[in-house]
Chain A
Amino acid sequence: MTDSKYFTTTKKGEIFELKAELNSDKKEKKKEAVKKVIASMTVGKDVSALFPDVVNCMQTDNLELKKLVYLYLMNYAKSQPDMAIMAVNTFVKDCEDPNPLIRALAVRTMGCIRVDKITEYLCEPLRKCLKDEDPYVRKTAAVCVAKLHDINAQLVEDQGFLDTLKDLISDSNPMVVANAVAALSEIAESHPNSNLLDLNPQTINKLLTALNECTEWGQIFILDCLANYTPRDDRESQSICERVTPRLSHANSAVVLSAVKVLMKFMEMLPKDLDYYGTLLKKLAPPLVTLLSAEPELQYVALRNINLIVQRRPEILKHEMKVFFVKYNDPIYVKLEKLDIMIRLASQANIAQVLAELKEYATEVDVDFVRKAVRAIGRCAIKVEQSAERCVSTLLDLIQTKVNYVVQEAIVVIKDIFRKYPNKYESVIATLCENLDSLDEPEARAAMIWIVGEYAERIDNADELLESFLEGFHDESTQVQLQLLTAIVKLFLKKPTETQELVQQVLSLATQDSDNPDLRDRGYIYWRLLSTDPVAAKEVVLAEKPLISEETDLIEPTLLEELICHIGTLASVYHKPPSAFVEGSRGVQHKRLPGSAGSGESVDSPDPGSAAGASEAPPAVIPSQGDLLGDLLNLDLTPPTTTGPPPAPSSGMQLGAMDLLGGGLDSLLGGDLGGGAAMGAGFGAAPAAMPASFSAPVSGGLDDLFDLGGGVGMPMGAYSPPKTIWLPAMKAKGLEISGTFARRAGVIQMEMTLTNKAMSVMTDFAIQFNRNSFGLAPAGPLQILTPLSPNQSIEASLPLSTVGPVMKMEPLTNLQVAVKNNIDVFYFSCQYPISMLFVEDGKMERQVFLATWKDIPNDNESQFQIKDCHLSSDATSNKLQGSNVFTIAKRTVEGQDMLYQSMKLTNGIWVLAELRVQTGNPNYTVSLKCRAPEVSQCVFQSYEAMLKN
């Protein structure tokens, strides 16, 4: 007898037949019928109509039948809450069954039924099961607490289950311990500040003991939990490491990687001169290499992690280059990752081998892989100076193959090589120019144009070449247009006589015929520069450029630290912090590596000298996102349009590409790695007057990114007010809407809970806004796909754009909304906090701030008092930064901290603020200056809201 036949019944009237069979007297027939029901459920048919009949089969001593009925219940109980109650009695009875397997089954299933009324009945049986004599029941009950917490957190706390769960950490059975740890870790994640897990040396000792005895999965739970602990000193750290290292020989890769995570983290605390530190480093390499002989999917995860580990501690794998050589039959995702690691490990010692391999790869079939291989050759040239010449000749060989994408990729990297070794390889320019016509990708065209402009004096027909690009100027991408503009200006400055006409042509194309503000602005600046002072223009445009740094594509150090704490998890696969892809409160906490033993004391020290000396200098990172000034000087930073994916939350995850624009990272930039030093330089000098603090050198672009919040904790996410009821059910025929606004990853979200308090099902939801002050409009339709049945609630999150029609509202942030469903159309109005409109790039340059502040008439200044606020000035600026209020400078005058802050609204209005904080005085004064004084009141209100939450 086979079960596959259950999948094939598709007759009409099936439901009635099943109903009859379910009520049959014969046991066999009943079981058959339940199997058919489950099969239909699997393929997605709605069999909820059979609910009472299936539940009737529950009272049986046949365990197999019982399990099937339970499976059905878990799926449909939520849609039939009243009938689900019918099952409660059986559950309660089963929890008393003499057979431990049945007791566990009952408590396991009950926890999966998310119906409020049932959870009430669950408490007593669960309490008993947590103290059951049988470990199988206890381990199931431990997980059940996490389930219940997910449904009703308050109930779990009130009933004291958390304490019982904590007691289970001392259980005699290792699997009970492991499950209790897993449950507690999960619950603790949603309560970031509670001291639930309460990791202390005693509990750690218990966990380490259980680690030796439990199943492979239990070991993973325990190791992942251990990774959250911060040892008190280096001795404790070492003793934990010693007890964790044996796990590196486990057959389960997840156990190995979780152990690596614990070791990588605790290693930070060990003094580097300790013998054990060296031993540990040596022990880490072999297991990492072994991971590469696992199945391809695991290899992929391992490689993404190794990529992080190599950046943090290159010494671990520096002798293992060969294992990253690509095999012909590796899946493409493994090949691409291996290539990345090969470049990171390339050094003078192994460069010959690496180059030979890369050349081999450049002849393969897969286009992405070949491109990456070509790019890798260029990166080798930049990284290992001795190899530059060979790399260049390899690239020239590849250009000779005339394979279109190979040529384009090669030209892009040769441009970088010129930036690293100017005036060395210009002889190849002639070859490059031969391939001008075959370039059809913007990046390659831009690179070629840059080369022509940069070396215009050595290319006889530079003007002809550039002129040829000019014909289709408006069809080019922005990147190419900007580059062409700059190149022609350079050409003009080098050969002014012949090219006057050309430069005029390009300037007029850029300024008069283009809609692109970046292009227009750049055009105007060049134009004015050239017309007022050609000598100065020459100095600016043809200024010597700083050499590009050796390592590119490094992950920003603060992010890297966080990712190291997430080794083995999805975050390490995506190379993004969990907050970038996890919804809700989970995972929003930022993890950090503990400070090293040597520099531990000095991390928080205000003395910039000692901090800089002790902490490891972060590797220089080329920011993919240039500041405006750098761009003008033609520092050749790729324009923002091509870096990273747009920060739309719904867009697919772009593996490998770093999302510098993403909200998650923005808030990370406030982190404090190396910040201590930068902060000391920037503000530590405490200038007496404001102008002085703004006259710091402009070149501190990168420092700027790090200079805030030195030594302070992580900034919190954007402020979002709690949900309020917008549309009471009374007014909308049973539909209740409560909601709030939030800003996530640069997108304004309208978050609503729709509750059906009527008797009938609601469908066909749609939403519309009236015109409003800031042009807010839904960016897409309201996504409520399933019908809303009575007494059901649904969460909907609606992304908003700010390009809708504008009309000034009173009050300013009022929003009139119409919601339609199958019953009627309903109107309500709500107010959004103006902080939702603060954009991520609202940080003003210091000079600009100063100039703007002076420029705005004093009449536009308004002053407010914020009462009863008890934050320090650092915490304040941190908190505000989460909502895109950027602190530009801080100065202290007579015990009063003055914070100068800027924010920018979605419609481009800048608001400048001066916040006065006096220690010991809970009343802050905020002065706001803005060209549109109407917004000040709203901004003040959101200041108050942000600070008090």
Chain B
Amino acid sequence: MIGGLFIYNHKGEVLISRVYRDDIGRNAVDAFRVNVIHARQQVRSPVTNIARTSFFHVKRSNIWLAAVTKQNVNATMVFEFLYKMCDVMAAYFGKISEENVKNNFVLIYELLDEILDFGYPQNSETGALKTFITQQGIKSQSKEEQAQITSQVTGQIGWRREGIKYRRNELFLDVLESVNLLMSPQGQVLSAHVSGRVVMKSYLSGMPECKFGMNDKIVIDKQNKGGSSEEGGKSGKQSIAIDDCTFHQCVRLSKFDSERSISFIPPDGDYELMRYRTTKDIILPFRVIPLVREVGRTKLEVKVVIKSNFKSSLLAQKIEVRIPTPLNTSGVQLICMKGKAKYKASENAIVWKIKRMAGMKESQISAEIELLPTNDKKWARPPISMNFEVPFAPSGLKVRYLKVFEPKLNYSDHDVIKWVRYIGRSGIYETRC
């Protein structure tokens, strides 16, 4: 299991050092600094073995988190734990920076004592932790409170405490998707997938039982088996095939496996209910058509057309097209029909920004790039990348219902105010040129 956990600043100075196992000595702290943080070459693996000691590291801004072990630990678990640790710290004091870590070092030690015992991760749900570890020192608790804390931390529903009350029961549901694309210069889709998340904010009283439904093809097909065939044909178009999905630990997985229904008792406040991935019938909101022509050795002509491919009543926002330029670029002339374009020498790219663009439109930019003569090897031509935000889910996912039951309290599903929002963003959206 994890033998120790260290946090360093960008210079390699230790900010936090907590050793859990006897086989990890103080020299491990230095070994990581010398061999990874101060390494002359860029680190080529997130797992490093130095003198039979393994180091796992992640970086958040310029803070290094390193877990150390001498055993054959579950490597996936160690990384998941490090991310979780970052989440927990962020939930307590915001951004993970040297300043914040130093300001909260007592708190961090306290957290590390609680969520890692002898190197074994324990309950790390912030909701539960915050009931008894606070930045303002420890709250004095009554006996009932103590019992409640321990039963929550160890209990089956570790993510929610009893006795939550709201005057207004409200639910916010966001479907956030990032659409990823790799397209060949000829417009052939090399790979495309949507990775989506269903993020919720719930302000519900008591211990509500929730049921979430979407236009999952498997569920809809199952329902249509009983219904008329005409309807089946219609909804077949509207349902989507989900390649895979994963759920927050509150969701009853065995129930999903057997009935494909998503039921859970939600945590209070913000959380991510599920993640999913689809690859079929993706709506690609934009198409990029590049044209690069090398005119002699010192000039390059680039023309890029973007086409929006969604309902004309909808508006895409924050559109940005990034056209890479060779390292030996000496000057760029730009003409674009819409938005603003700029050559950014420090980033070796032309950045073209458009605030808004409606569906079924097209726009183009042309650029003349002057090059300095050079003997370097040929330019690698990185892909043209794009950023945007659209108000629909590119996977076609639709929320069908979210039902709330709380038998013990006197509010029903109808009394809950529910908000649903769809946002599609670009993930890695690239077209080779």
Contact = CB atoms under 8 A, between A and B. Distances in A.
Interface of A: 2-4, 6-7, 35, 38-39, 42-44, 62-64, 67-68, 70-71, 75, 98-101, 108, 111-112, 114, 134-137, 139-140, 143-144, 146-147, 150, 173-176, 179, 182, 186, 212-217, 220-221, 224, 243, 245-247, 249-254, 256-258, 286-287, 289-290, 293, 295-298, 300-302, 322-323, 325, 327-329, 332-333, 353, 356-357, 360, 363-365, 401, 403, 566, 568-574, 578, 581-583, 586-587, 649-650, 652-653, 655, 785-786
Q: Which 6 A-B pairs have the closest CB atoms?
A: A286-B244, A653-B49, A136-B150, A4-B102, A246-B257, A254-B77
18 contacts: A4-B99, A39-B105, A44-B14, A44-B26, A101-B132, A135-B154, A175-B122, A175-B155, A217-B122, A220-B74, A251-B248, A258-B76, A287-B246, A298-B76, A301-B75, A333-B44, A356-B184, A401-B377
Consensus secondary structure, chain B interface? mixed
A-side interface mostly = helix
Contacts of B42: 332
Given A38-B109, A251-B272, A327 B254 contact: no
B122 A212 contact: no
A108 B383 CA distance: 54
B120 A179 contact: yes
B92 interface: no
Given A42-B16, A134-B150, A7 B102 contact: yes
A514 B79 CA distance: 51
Contacts of B44: 332-333
A322 B71 CA distance: 35
Contact of B76 (A215, A253, A290): A253
A582 B72 contact: yes
A289 B305 CA distance: 32
Contact of A328 (B71, B99, B430): B430
A915 B426 CA distance: 71
Nearest to B105: A3
Interface in B33-53: 42, 44-52
B273 to A, nearest CB: 9
Contacts of B275: 251, 290, 293
B120 A573 contact: no
A89 B252 CA distance: 46
A26 to B, nearest CB: 16
B80 to A, nearest CB: 5
A322 B190 contact: yes
B380 A365 contact: yes
B127 interface: no
A644 to B, nearest CB: 15
Interface in B225-281: 243-249, 252-254, 256-257, 272, 274-275, 277
Contacts of B430: 327-328
B5 to A, nearest CB: 12
Which interface residue of A63, A216, A298 has the most chain B CB atoms within 10 A?
A: A216
Interface string B286-301: 0000000000000000
A328 B191 CA distance: 13
A63 B244 contact: no
Nearest to A286: B244
Contacts of B274: 251
Contact of A329 (B81, B82, B117, B428): B428
B156 interface: yes
B366 interface: no
Contacts of A62: 137-138
A286 to B, nearest CB: 3
Nearest to A291: B76
Given A4-B99, A186-B1, A214-B156, 16 more contacts: A35-B106, A42-B105, A64-B138, A100-B147, A136-B150, A175-B154, A179-B122, A251-B274, A258-B74, A332-B42, A363-B380, A570-B73, A581-B52, A587-B72, A653-B49, A786-B25
Given A134-B150, A217-B122, A220-B74, A363 B103 contact: no
B94 to A, nearest CB: 13
A574 B73 CA distance: 12
Nearest to A132: B150
Given A246-B253, A333-B46, A568 B76 contact: yes
Interface string B101-138: 01111100110010001101111110000001000011
B17 interface: yes
B50 A652 contact: yes
B110 A182 contact: no
A43 B77 contact: no
Interface string B3-16: 00000000001111
A246 B256 contact: yes
Contact of B146 (A101, A290, A296): A101
A246 B245 CA distance: 11
A216 B378 contact: no
Given A174-B156, A652-B49, A586 B71 contact: yes
B120 A221 contact: yes
B154 A136 contact: yes
B333 to A, nearest CB: 26
Contacts of A363: 378, 380-381
Q: Which of B21, B26, B70, B80 has the most CB of A within 10 A?
A: B80
B367 interface: no
A582 B137 CA distance: 40
B158 interface: yes
A39 B121 CA distance: 24
Nearest to B70: A583
Contacts of B46: 296-297, 300, 333
A581 B49 contact: yes
B246 A111 contact: no
Contact of A3 (B25, B79, B106, B247): B106
A287 B16 contact: no
B54 interface: yes
A422 to B, nearest CB: 34
Contacts of B118: 111-112, 143-144, 146-147
Given A323-B191, A569-B73, A570-B72, A245 B277 contact: no
B257 A297 contact: no
Given A99-B146, A101-B149, A186-B1, A249 B76 contact: no
Interface string B140-173: 0101001101110111101000000000000000
